[in-house]
């Protein structure tokens, strides 16, 4: 669980387990909670090797476009969007 609060992570997992999920839904919810609590947080500095390794791991997943809760893991920026953002159009 890296730099996150392990006690809070355990409480969240136990809360999920105590709710009335079916077994598979509960397993998915617990896995998603553990994944989120062990995620790299904003502001943490990573080396180029760590960043490359994370991208390779993400590409190797069955659904690289979203996190376990369905939030996007990447966005597409077109050249036109970048040009507008920098006042070029």
Q: Domain coordinates of the chain in residue numbers?
A: 1-44, 45-89
Phi, psi dihedral angles at 66 (to 5 degrees): -140, 160
Architecture, CATH, for domain 45-89: 2-Layer Sandwich (3.30)
What is the pLDDT at residue 24?
58
> Which residue is listed with tokens 């669980």?
1
DSSP 72: B
Q: Which helix (H) or strand (E) holds 35?
A: helix 23-37
Residue 88, pLDDT > 60, answer yes
Q: What is the pLDDT of residues 4-41, one digit of tens each?
A: 677 887 777 777 666 555 655 767 777 777 777 667 77
| pLDDT score for 22 | 61
Helix (H/G/I), strand (E/B), else coil: 66: strand
Which pLDDT tens digit goes with each residue over 42-84?
788 889 999 999 899 989 988 899 887 788 888 999 999 999 9
The full DSSP string for 30-56 is HHHHHHHHTSPPTT----HHHHHHHHH
């Amino acid at each position: 669980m890296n730099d996150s609060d392990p006690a809070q992570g355990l409480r969240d997992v136990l809360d999920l387990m105590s709710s009335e999920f079916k077994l598979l839904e509960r397993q998915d919810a617990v896995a998603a909670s553990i994944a989120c609590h062990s995620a790299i947080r904003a502001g943490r500095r990573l080396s180029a090797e760590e960043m490359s390794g994370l991208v390779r791991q993400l590409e190797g997943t069955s659904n690289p476009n979203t996190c376990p809760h369905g939030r996007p893991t990447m966005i597409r920026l077109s050249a036109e969007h970048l040009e507008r953002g920098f006042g070029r159009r």
